[in-house]
Amino acid sequence: MRVPKLLLPAVALSLLAPAPAAAHHGASVKVIAEKLDNPRHVAVAWNGDVYVAEAGKGGDPAKSKSCFDSAEGFACTGATGAITRVFKKHGKLQKERVVRGLASFAPADGASAIGPHGVFVRGSDVFFTNGGPTAPMRGGAVVLRDPTLVSEEPISRLYGTLLKLDRHERVKFVADLWRFERDNNPDGQVGNPLIDSNPVDVFAGHHGQLVADAGGNTVLRVGRHGRVSVVALFPNIPTPGPGGAVIPMNAVPTGVVVGPDGYYYMSQLTGFPFPVGGAKIFRINPRTGAYTTYASGFTNAMDLAFGPDGTLYVLEIDHDSILGPSHDGALFRVPRGGGVGQQIELPAGTLTDPGGLAVAGRKTLVISNHGREAGTGEVLEVTLDR
């Protein structure tokens, strides 16, 4: 696959002075980047640089040749997704889009975009997923990426892929997760027949990469030459819905990491009806794919990360459910060994639809915020009291 010429390093976007830190019971929060488009997962490099995946703001409905119905509403494709680096230069914070021109779709206002989502730094390589295409619809039928969406807007060929920015600032293709879904549809065997891929997180290890596919309800392994295989498949969960109906709720994996014990850990958003307290953290055996519940009681978990002491941090995108009236997110810590998470108290209004979480030090976390908004997204640095 040839990478489009749009995927080029960009000049620095702006100089950003850090906002004053807000303290609360020993925890402090400061904004280290702003004016982002639907920021999702974040990663911290060895030198302290922060990378954030911007899902973009879709395409202009008056110009895009590829529009369709989606879970986010009527949406159009555009080359507005990006990977942004936040760094210090001469003691001042700056940000630059090191990759831009990635595939993104969103409603006309640019909110709730689907595009770049997962990001992970390993050495001098930055791995990232271009999410989507989920299961776009026209006339009640799924519109496939290949050949339809690609023929309409060629940038669509990046939907459902794993890519890498190398030390020479070249973007390279790693794997096509959407094609694997089309050819195998693993969760079709558990009652989900749609071709639905949305790779939203990546973890890069010594012998390949792990990918959480929210649309496919799987954790995937990418090996040599981009070969994709299933590590774990998560079945639907019968869940009470509106009016007392029992709904086969999808798992919807959102984050995947390797824990201190070498096992894989996955967070879940859950699907409709998005029950309060219905999301879990699963511990996955890397050899067999068998999994157990490591922690539970979360609502719409979006990401997870281990601290150096073995504490697991879990981020909720919406604490009262995506269907609830509030957009407040929440942050939890889970003690070593698992169990029930303890919510970390932050200043009121700190987290609004947060999109990603990374550990930057023993007491320091990096969180993307306003993750479902175009132009108003942020990256926060949170220093904990303990």
Checking if the pLDDT of 354 tops 50, the result is: yes
Position of tokens 């989900």? 192
Structural domains of the chain, with CATH: 12-383 (2.130.10.10)
Q: Measure the CA–CA gap between 39 and 221, rounded to whole angstroms.
A: 25
> Is 264 in contact with 219 (CB distance < 8 Å)?
yes
Q: What average pLDDT does range 57-84 have in this prediction?
A: 97
Sheet containing 161-165, strands listed edge to edge, beginning at the edge strand earlier in sequence: 116-122, 125-130, 161-165, 171-176
User: Beta-carbon neighbour count of residue 351 at 10 Å?
Assistant: 25
User: Beta-carbon neighbour count of residue 270 at 10 Å?
Assistant: 24
pTM score of the predicted model:
0.93
- pLDDT, one tens digit per residue, over 96-112 is 999 999 999 999 999 99
Amino acid at 320: D
Reduced to 3 states, what is the DSSP secondary structure of residue 203? strand
- pLDDT, one tens digit per residue, over 169-199 is 999 999 999 999 999 999 999 999 999 999 9
- pLDDT, one tens digit per residue, over 195-216 is 999 999 999 998 899 999 999 9
- Report CA Rg, the chain: 19
The pLDDT of residue 21: 42
Q: What average pLDDT does range 51-63 have in this prediction?
A: 98
User: Phi/psi of residue 164, each to 5°?
Assistant: -145, 135
Dihedral angle sign, alpha carbons of residues 291, 362, 355, 159? negative
Q: What average pLDDT does range 329-345 have in this prediction?
A: 95
With bands split at pLDDT 50, 70 and 90, how would you rate the model's confidence at 15? very low
Nearest to 338 by CA among 254, 263, 241, 239: 263
What's the burial of 161, exposed, middle or buried (CB within 10 Å: 0-12/13-18/19+)?
A: buried
- pLDDT, one tens digit per residue, over 249-299 is 999 999 999 999 999 999 999 999 999 999 999 999 999 999 999 999 999
> Is 288 in contact with 309 (CB distance < 8 Å)?
no
Q: Per residue in 113-122, is it b (16+ CB within 10 Å) or e — as a string?
A: bbbbbbbbbb
